[in-house]
Amino acid sequence: MKKLFVIISISLMLISLLLVISCDLFNFSEAQGNFWAVNTRNNIPYKVSADLIYEGIHCYVWVEKGSGGTYEQAKKLADAFDADIYQKMKDAFGVDIDYERIKNLFIDSFNPGKNTLNTMELTDLLGDDDGKLCILMLDIKDNYKKDVNDSYVAGYFSPNDFLNVPYSNKRDMIYIDTNPGMKDFDEDFDSIKKTLAHEMQHMMNFISTIAIRWDRESSNIAPFLMDTWIDEGLSSAAEYIIDEKHLKGRVDYYTNGNYGLIGKGNNFFVWGNREKEDQYAILDDYATVYLFFQWLRLQSDKDKGVYGDIIVSEYSDYKAVFNTMKDDSFYLHWEYLLGTWLAANYINNTSGPYGYMNDEILSSIKVPAPSSLGTSVLLFPGEGVYSTTTSAPSISGQGTNIRNLYLLYEVQNNYFQDSILLTFNANINKEGATETGVTTGTPAGAPPKSSMSTDISSGSRSVQSSILSGPYRIDARDMLRRNGHEFSVFDFSGSLRGARIVE
């Protein structure tokens, strides 16, 4: 028995996990039908025995033994991937990467026979070089228990599978949940496709980091990975791109957010920061990041092309988003972009920057009002609250990063009669502390609604008299954190894995 320090990376968020465990080493990477997966209850890797059920044009679909997955399900998923998902994701998030930019990842004799490699081609080369994505359908160990714990992990992607480290499957692959993710396969199929697209973006984002953002002189890639909120925003956009249908549960969750912390400012910029106040606060992050990335699409003259510009940005923080929008002189700084989106959620004009361009679904957006709001609030970076004015409030004593805008049908920096005061924290540092903002003490927002519909695919919670029901999706990283496991970054001491990659 040997104590090993093992790097395990899973997630919707591309966060790697440092595990300290004792066990014998097994090499399952060369044994057909055996894979490593991670137990999100306790952060420990375990063996999965699976059968190769179906081979598609662009994918292999494996099914865990005893998980209940069938040939018909595997074929339906593979067919959807081949006919639709693969090309749409490649078009939206792929890029032709100049070979000169990435050749130092490969041995000297490697010659791809072309001057550029698409993101998906590079993904395969850094995986197992078999020309296909590996999809593993399995019952992800995630504490799910109907009517007891309705949160579950719908799928994940592990960067570990691209590294020569223990418990790596050494192939490009995505894990998709069967229970409850495929409880009713046909009814849930749209959700399953969206999960696959969501995880595929995470994988493509990771490969884009390797090819574009990573400084080869650094053994640690963590500083070059995109901020969680951007990576999650792009993955939420990927779910929309598959069928161009909104995740209505996200929209409903935001608009009906009177039971959560959105009305008190909680949003995506500092991810997962309010769970001590509300164990379901992470759902606020998913809802708001979805809306923000839809607003970016609607406001950009590139439409969905704005997502492709973000994923290939040389930046990994807010600048990756801001730089795609700054050509419009309206957005002079990040705080202008953030403040405009926050204003849009209240004003929601049918055209222009202060709304969602009369989108059929998003035109219903209205900020939720908290039940109460003090005359001073603590706001994390990116957070904003709305209060009703009857006179110009005194804003002395505010934090240095706190900004104030006055809203009605337009936005002004100074008070005007019967306007709404937007108070927000413009700090660009997502690690920044809370700062005090001043409000009028009278909340502004849409009237609370008594109930909302369930939308399993979006991961929202159905509310009836403030009672939580599900099932609803939660990120693997968030599930692990909920179960008491923290994270650390990983380095490249194990080296990249690939059929033609330097070992």
pLDDT at 486: 61
User: Torsions phi, psi of 7, nearest 5?
Assistant: -95, 120
The structure's pTM equals 0.88
Reduce the DSSP state of residue 495 to 3 states and report it. Answer: coil
Q: What is the pLDDT of residues 425-446, one digit of tens each?
A: 999 999 999 999 999 999 997 5
Separation of alpha carbons 434 and 379, rounded Å: 5
DSSP character for 213?
A: I
- CA 400 → CA 339, 377, 406, 431, distances in Å? 16, 14, 18, 15
Which band of pLDDT confidence, cut at 50, 70 and 90, is reported for residue 148?
low
Reduce the DSSP state of residue 403 to 3 states and report it. Answer: strand
Is residue 99 scored above 90 in pLDDT? no
Structure token digits, residue 488: 């650390």
CB of 350 within 8 A of CB of 363?
A: yes
- CA 382 → CA 130, 268, 318, 327, distances in Å? 43, 8, 11, 22
Separation of alpha carbons 366 and 445, rounded Å: 7
- CA 386 → CA 201, 219, 418, 441, 451, distances in Å? 34, 44, 13, 9, 23
pLDDT at 328: 60
Q: What is the pLDDT of residues 226-246, one digit of tens each?
A: 999 999 999 999 999 999 999
Domain layout of the chain by residue ranges:
3-242, 257-287+326-454
DSSP 2-54: -EEEEEEEETTTTEEEEEEEE------TTSTTEEEEEETTTTEEEEEEEEEEE
Structure token digits, residue 106: 């490969």
Q: What is the pLDDT of residues 184-219, one digit of tens each?
A: 999 999 999 999 999 999 999 999 999 999 887 887
Separation of alpha carbons 308 and 305, rounded Å: 5
Separation of alpha carbons 2 and 6, rounded Å: 12
H/E stretch holding 234 = helix 228-243
User: Torsions phi, psi of 125, nearest 5?
Assistant: -65, -40
